[in-house]
Amino acid sequence: METQHYYCSDDGARIAYRLRRRDHSGTALVMLHGLASNSSRWSELVDTLTLDPPWDLLRLDLRGHGGSLVRGRIGHAVWCEDLHGILAQAGYRRVVLLGHSLGAQLALHYAHGHPHMTAGLILIDPVVPQCLQGTLARVARLRGLLPPLITILRLLNAAGIKRRHFPTLDLQQLDRRTRELLRHQPDTRIDKIYARPLSDLKYLPTANYLQDLYAATAPLPPLADLQAPVLVLLSRGVKLTDLSQTQARLARLPNTEFKIIDADHWMLTERPDEARLAIQDWCNRRAVASQ
């Protein structure tokens, strides 16, 4: 059974995470969501994933998102500190990190800073800044303008000029509606549903959203330094990044295998079974190899 927990950071932030403990499990799979998202991104996977032997499953709302919706400074350094505190509170010494998009970037940053804690990485469509195209590429070119804008927004928030209430985004329900739409209208562009800033801004403060963008366009840590085994799942039809360039960059990871799935960045929505089976197979092989 999955249970709700909270980690209280040194600066008073309350970070929400959910944990499904398995009897006699020695391994945890830790799930990190993407930009303007939350831990409900993993709800379906948690319900359907079959690992043998069973693993613990932990998913969190990154600071500034979902059940961890606070204002203030966020980004890879803060998220890594929160994650490290959560893992210590939960009693884990080594984990496999599973991240989507911005969450995959975070997994790489955490693995670089805490290699002794990282038993493996599963990266779903990681955002590689040098390979961006379209809207995010334009954001990357203007990245230097984001910090002063974020500072202004935070000052306005501190002065009391801010939204007080945010609805909860349930990505499992959104995925179901999207699949039904795609079944009847297969030519629908999924990025028009999942990459809409005005829609995203309903669920988190504007300053948080801009900090997500700033983090998503930040340089990755030196990939050749990361020694943990890595599975990279890439979407064949991705529009946010250049697929071939992304694969070439990530090939610098020393111990990596790739799987390409017919999707457009949101494979957990478009091809959930294929993604789940790829994750299961890799995790089960890692478990056998470690015995």
- pLDDT in the model for residue 40: 98
Q: What is the pTM of this model?
A: 0.97
- pLDDT in the model for residue 289: 59
Give long-range contacts, CB 8 A cutoff, 24+ apart: 49-54: 49/276, 49/279, 49/280, 50/280, 51/280, 51/283, 51/284, 51/287, 52/284, 52/287, 53/22, 53/24, 53/25, 53/287, 54/22, 54/23, 54/25
In the chain, domain spans: 2-286
pLDDT reading at 285 higher than 80: yes
- pLDDT in the model for residue 52: 86
- Cβ neighbours, 10 Å, residue 88: 12
Q: What is the CATH number of domain 2-286?
A: 3.40.50.1820
Determine the Cα–Cα distance for residues 283 and 117; give it in Å rounded to an integer: 17
- pLDDT in the model for residue 249: 97
- pLDDT in the model for residue 27: 85
pLDDT reading at 218 higher than 60: yes
Q: Is 174 in a helix, a strand, or coil?
A: helix
Q: Which element (helix H / strand E) includes 14?
A: strand 14-20
Instruction: Tell me the mean pLDDT in the region 140-163.
Output: 96
Interval 92-118: pLDDT, tens: 999 999 999 999 999 999 999 999 999
